[in-house]
């Protein structure tokens, strides 16, 4: 078996453990927040691509502010989770 396929098998097994009662290498909260972040970013980029031709400067500034707000919220949640883990 190749080294890459062993790593892929390990990754799949660990991802399955996330949603089971077994301990996993990965954090369920981080996976779910990563998926949510990816979905939010995909929607924001899709909106920008479809509306860029009709957007004025104010619209672009509001779009960028929303982007920074989403990114800031995700970073804040990750830092809060790290702080909670070290308090235990």
In sequence order, what E strands does 9-84 have?
A: none
For residue 27, pLDDT beyond 80: no
- Spans of all domains in the chain: 25-87
3-state secondary structure at position 73: helix
pLDDT in tens, 32-43: 878 888 888 888
**Mean pLDDT, the chain, integer:** 81
Residue 71 · residue 41 · CB < 8 Å: no
Split at pLDDT 50, 70, 90, the class of 58 is: very high
Alpha-carbon distance of 15 to 27, in angstroms, equals 9
């Amino acid at each position: 078996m190749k080294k890459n396929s062993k790593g892929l098998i390990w990754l799949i097994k660990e991802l399955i453990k996330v949603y089971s009662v077994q301990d996993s290498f990965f954090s369920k909260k981080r996976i779910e927040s990563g998926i949510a972040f990816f979905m939010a970013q995909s929607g924001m980029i899709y909106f920008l691509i479809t509306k860029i031709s009709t957007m004025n400067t104010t619209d672009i500034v509001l779009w960028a502010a929303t982007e920074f707000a989403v990114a800031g919220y995700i970073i804040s949640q990750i830092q809060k989770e790290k702080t909670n883990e070290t308090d235990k």
